[in-house]
Amino acid sequence: MVEQKFSPEMLDDIIESAELPNHGAYTSVGTYPHAELGRLVIELSKRSQAKVPDLLRAYGEYLFRRFFDGYPVFFEKVTDSFGFLSTIDQIVHVEVRKLYPEAELPSFETTAVSPDRMSMIYRSPRCLGDFAEGLMLGCFTHFGEPIKIERKDEAGGKVVKFELTRTH
């Protein structure tokens, strides 16, 4: 994402400045400490003047598009955002754990309030509610649905309650 939205040079700069133990060598089959993501985002924020929450949301939106491209099977039986979001813990995360048994995944509890409203509770000690929100925004864009997000952070960001409403 940094290469596409900023430049390859920016990516090299933030990796170097973050002083990562692996010097920024990542693979798609590995798992890495979430603190490394934090260090990279902070360095990008310093250089781009963008706020960390905005960068995390942008990364979430970007990653949703990549997720769809890489794992279209998760989308075969869903036709809308609420349908997809309700599958995260029961289907998507189950499959992720098969590939990455050591992965520490957040939990998502969804409740259908009405056909046009859904409540979603994010829980994670990593406090990445902005990233989760970005994933949701990417989902809404993918399905072409105008959905308003109301958000309430609790427990220092370890719990985020999202109220999602279709705005037809």
Task: Burial-class residue 136 by CB neighbours within 10 Å (0-12, 13-18, 19+).
Answer: buried
How far is the C-alpha of 45 from the C-alpha of 67, rounded, in Å?
A: 24
**For helices 52-70 and 129-143, angle between their N-to-C axes, nearest 10 degrees:** 50
Q: How big is the CA angle at 60 (ends 11 and 153), to the nearest 5 degrees?
A: 120
Domain shared by 63 and 142, yes or no: yes
Shared-domain flag, residues 26 and 97: no
Eight-state DSSP code of residue 14: H
Radius of gyration from C-alpha coordinates of the chain: 16
pLDDT value, residue 131: 94
66 and 121 assigned to the same domain: yes
65 and 133 housed in the same domain: yes
| HSE-up (13 A, CA, CB side) for residue 131 | 17
**pLDDT tens, position by position, 2-57:** 999 999 999 999 999 999 888 888 877 677 788 888 999 999 999 999 999 999 99
Residue 38 parent element (H or E): helix 34-48
Residue-range definition of the domain harbouring residue 42 = 1-50
Q: Are residues 15 and 29 part of one domain?
A: yes
Co-location of 19 and 57 in the same domain: no
Tokens of 160: 């985020």
- This prediction's pTM: 0.90
Count of domains forming the chain: 2
- Say yes or no: 164 and 100 in one domain: yes
Look up the CATH number of the domain holding residue 103: 3.90.1520.10
Q: Say whether both 60 and 44 belong to one domain.
A: no
Is residue 108 domain-shared with residue 150, that is, in the same domain? yes
pLDDT score at 122: 96
What pLDDT is stored for residue 97 in this prediction? 76
Distance CA 159, CA 101 (A): 23
One domain, residues 63 and 1: no
